Protein backbone atom coordinates (compact mmCIF):
# COMPACT_ATOMS: atom_id res chain seq x y z
CA UNK A 1 0.00 0.00 0.00
CA UNK A 2 1.30 3.42 -0.93
CA UNK A 3 0.04 4.89 2.34
CA UNK A 4 2.31 2.52 4.29
CA UNK A 5 5.35 3.42 2.21
CA UNK A 6 5.01 7.20 1.86
CA UNK A 7 4.44 9.24 5.01
CA UNK A 8 2.89 12.72 5.11
CA UNK A 9 4.60 15.53 3.26
CA UNK A 10 6.90 17.90 5.08
CA UNK A 11 7.73 21.45 4.18
CA UNK A 12 11.46 22.11 4.45
CA UNK A 13 12.61 25.70 4.67
CA UNK A 14 15.70 26.42 2.63
CA UNK A 15 17.39 29.72 2.01
CA UNK A 16 15.50 30.61 -1.17
CA UNK A 17 12.33 28.55 -1.28
CA UNK A 18 10.04 26.06 0.35
CA UNK A 19 10.58 22.49 -0.69
CA UNK A 20 7.95 19.77 -0.33
CA UNK A 21 9.54 16.56 0.95
CA UNK A 22 7.97 13.11 1.23
CA UNK A 23 9.63 10.65 3.61
CA UNK A 24 9.58 6.90 3.17
CA UNK A 25 9.59 4.78 6.34
CA UNK A 26 13.32 4.16 5.91
CA UNK A 27 14.06 7.86 5.41
CA UNK A 28 12.01 8.73 8.49
CA UNK A 29 13.85 6.08 10.51
CA UNK A 30 17.18 7.58 9.38
CA UNK A 31 15.96 11.12 10.19
CA UNK A 32 15.05 10.09 13.73
CA UNK A 33 18.37 8.29 14.17
CA UNK A 34 20.25 11.43 13.11
CA UNK A 35 18.09 13.55 15.42
CA UNK A 36 18.83 11.43 18.50
CA UNK A 37 22.53 11.14 17.65
CA UNK A 38 22.62 14.92 17.32
CA UNK A 39 20.90 15.27 20.68
CA UNK A 40 23.54 13.04 22.27
CA UNK A 41 26.29 15.17 20.78
CA UNK A 42 24.57 18.37 21.93
CA UNK A 43 24.24 17.02 25.48
CA UNK A 44 27.90 16.02 25.60
CA UNK A 45 28.76 19.73 25.37
CA UNK A 46 26.51 20.88 28.24
CA UNK A 47 28.68 21.66 31.29
CA UNK A 48 26.05 20.41 33.79
CA UNK A 49 25.98 17.04 32.04
CA UNK A 50 29.73 16.59 31.47
CA UNK A 51 30.46 15.51 35.03
CA UNK A 52 27.62 12.98 35.14
CA UNK A 53 28.11 9.27 34.68
CA UNK A 54 24.92 9.05 32.59
CA UNK A 55 23.33 12.08 30.99
CA UNK A 56 19.79 11.77 32.39
CA UNK A 57 17.87 9.56 34.84
CA UNK A 58 15.36 8.30 32.27
CA UNK A 59 14.62 4.67 33.22
CA UNK A 60 16.95 4.69 36.23
CA UNK A 61 14.68 6.57 38.65
CA UNK A 62 14.94 3.80 41.27
CA UNK A 63 11.19 4.16 41.76
CA UNK A 64 9.12 1.24 40.50
CA UNK A 65 6.92 2.13 37.54
CA UNK A 66 8.27 5.68 37.19
CA UNK A 67 10.31 6.70 34.15
CA UNK A 68 11.45 9.95 32.61
CA UNK A 69 11.26 10.29 28.85
CA UNK A 70 11.82 12.54 25.89
CA UNK A 71 9.57 12.65 22.86
CA UNK A 72 10.14 14.59 19.66
CA UNK A 73 7.40 14.64 17.04
CA UNK A 74 5.88 16.72 14.32
CA UNK A 75 3.80 18.33 17.10
CA UNK A 76 6.75 19.47 19.18
CA UNK A 77 9.09 18.45 21.99
CA UNK A 78 8.00 16.71 25.19
CA UNK A 79 9.79 16.06 28.49
CA UNK A 80 7.86 13.51 30.49
CA UNK A 81 7.65 11.90 33.89
CA UNK A 82 5.58 8.77 33.28
CA UNK A 83 3.96 6.47 35.82
CA UNK A 84 3.34 3.17 34.07
CA UNK A 85 2.49 0.64 36.76
CA UNK A 86 0.29 -2.14 35.34
CA UNK A 87 -2.14 -2.06 38.25
CA UNK A 88 -4.44 0.93 37.67
CA UNK A 89 -5.08 1.50 41.37
CA UNK A 90 -1.35 1.49 42.22
CA UNK A 91 -0.65 3.77 39.24
CA UNK A 92 -3.24 6.33 40.37
CA UNK A 93 -2.00 6.17 43.97
CA UNK A 94 1.54 6.93 42.78
CA UNK A 95 0.21 9.79 40.62
CA UNK A 96 -1.68 11.22 43.61
CA UNK A 97 1.51 11.09 45.67
CA UNK A 98 3.21 13.29 43.08
CA UNK A 99 0.15 15.51 42.87
CA UNK A 100 0.44 16.24 46.61
CA UNK A 101 3.77 17.91 45.80
CA UNK A 102 2.53 19.77 42.73
CA UNK A 103 3.82 23.15 43.92
CA UNK A 104 7.31 21.71 44.45
CA UNK A 105 7.21 19.93 41.09
CA UNK A 106 6.16 23.11 39.28
CA UNK A 107 8.51 25.50 41.10
CA UNK A 108 11.00 25.54 38.20
CA UNK A 109 8.24 25.71 35.55
CA UNK A 110 6.67 29.19 35.36
CA UNK A 111 3.96 27.96 32.99
CA UNK A 112 3.33 24.88 35.10
CA UNK A 113 3.34 21.24 34.06
CA UNK A 114 0.64 19.24 32.32
CA UNK A 115 -0.87 16.64 34.65
CA UNK A 116 -2.63 13.79 32.87
CA UNK A 117 -3.78 10.86 35.02
CA UNK A 118 -5.24 8.94 32.06
CA UNK A 119 -2.87 9.40 29.11
CA UNK A 120 -3.29 6.73 26.43
CA UNK A 121 -0.16 5.87 24.48
CA UNK A 122 -0.29 5.09 20.75
CA UNK A 123 -0.17 1.37 21.59
CA UNK A 124 -3.32 1.72 23.72
CA UNK A 125 -1.67 1.43 27.15
CA UNK A 126 -2.97 3.83 29.77
CA UNK A 127 -0.37 5.62 31.91
CA UNK A 128 -0.15 8.75 34.05
CA UNK A 129 2.00 11.57 32.75
CA UNK A 130 3.39 14.77 34.16
CA UNK A 131 5.10 16.71 31.43
CA UNK A 132 6.04 19.91 29.71
CA UNK A 133 5.97 20.60 26.01
CA UNK A 134 7.06 23.03 23.37
CA UNK A 135 4.82 23.28 20.33
CA UNK A 136 5.40 25.08 17.06
CA UNK A 137 8.46 23.00 16.21
CA UNK A 138 8.57 19.99 13.90
CA UNK A 139 10.98 17.06 14.07
CA UNK A 140 11.02 16.92 10.27
CA UNK A 141 12.50 20.41 10.07
CA UNK A 142 16.21 20.01 10.69
CA UNK A 143 16.52 23.76 11.02
CA UNK A 144 14.49 23.49 14.27
CA UNK A 145 16.49 20.67 15.85
CA UNK A 146 18.51 23.08 18.01
CA UNK A 147 15.24 24.34 19.51
CA UNK A 148 14.34 20.75 20.37
CA UNK A 149 17.75 20.09 21.89
CA UNK A 150 17.79 23.25 24.01
CA UNK A 151 14.25 22.71 25.26
CA UNK A 152 14.60 19.00 26.01
CA UNK A 153 17.92 19.24 27.84
CA UNK A 154 17.03 22.26 29.98
CA UNK A 155 13.54 21.02 30.83
CA UNK A 156 14.73 17.49 31.70
CA UNK A 157 17.33 18.91 34.08
CA UNK A 158 14.59 20.89 35.82
CA UNK A 159 12.18 17.93 35.89
CA UNK A 160 14.88 15.65 37.30
CA UNK A 161 15.65 18.17 40.04
CA UNK A 162 11.98 18.39 41.00
CA UNK A 163 11.61 14.61 40.84
CA UNK A 164 14.55 14.05 43.21
CA UNK A 165 13.09 16.43 45.81
CA UNK A 166 9.64 14.84 45.62
CA UNK A 167 11.03 11.29 45.56
CA UNK A 168 12.75 11.91 48.89
CA UNK A 169 9.49 13.22 50.37
CA UNK A 170 7.46 10.26 49.05
CA UNK A 171 9.88 7.59 50.29
Write out pLDDT tens, residues 50-65.
777 778 889 999 999 9
Which pLDDT tens digit goes with each residue over 82-121? 999 999 999 999 999 999 999 999 999 999 999 999 999 9
* CA atoms within 13 Å, Cβ hemisphere of 30: 5
Better pLDDT: 133 or 25? 133
Give the mean model confidence (pLDDT) for residues 146-160. Answer: 97
Per-residue pLDDT at 19 exceeds 70: no
Query: Are 169 and 41 a contacting pair, CB within 8 Å?
Result: no
pLDDT of 34 reads: 96
Give the mean model confidence (pLDDT) for residues 139-162. Answer: 96
pLDDT of 15 reads: 44
pLDDT of 7 reads: 38
pLDDT of 26 reads: 93
Domain boundaries, the chain: 28-170
Looking at the DSSP bridge assignments, the partners of residue 68 are 81
pLDDT of 21 reads: 66
What's the rounded Cα separation, in Å, for the pair 68 and 61?
Answer: 8
Amino acid sequence: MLRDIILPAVVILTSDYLELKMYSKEELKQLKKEFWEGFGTYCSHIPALKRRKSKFLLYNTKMKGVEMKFDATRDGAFVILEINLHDAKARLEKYEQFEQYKTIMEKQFPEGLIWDFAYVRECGTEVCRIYTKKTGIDLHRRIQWMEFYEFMSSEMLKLEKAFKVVKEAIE
